[in-house]
Amino acid sequence: MVVIRLSLAKSALKVLANSLFKSLVINHFFHFFSFDAMIFNKPQTNEIAL
């Protein structure tokens, strides 16, 4: 029982870390995109970023 619970906890932790990493990467990508739009000052991309 303890071993099963431990493996379940491990897999849950893996999934949690995976989703967290994905959200971090997506956030970073969007921040970079808005920064890019600010540098090049494209009105369309700026509207999307804002």
Report how far residue 2's alpha carbon sits from residue 12's, in angstroms, rounded to the nearest whole number.
15
- Mark residue 41 as left, alpha or beta (left: phi above 0; alpha: psi -120 to 50; beta: remaining): left
- The model's pLDDT over 36-46, given as tens digits with 9 standing for 90+, comes to 666 666 555 55
Question: What pLDDT score was predicted for residue 50?
Answer: 53
Candidate ranges 6-15, 17-26, 41-50; pick with highest mean pLDDT = 6-15
pTM: 0.46
Question: What pLDDT score was predicted for residue 17?
Answer: 92
Report how far residue 12's alpha carbon sits from residue 9's, in angstroms, rounded to the nearest whole number.
5
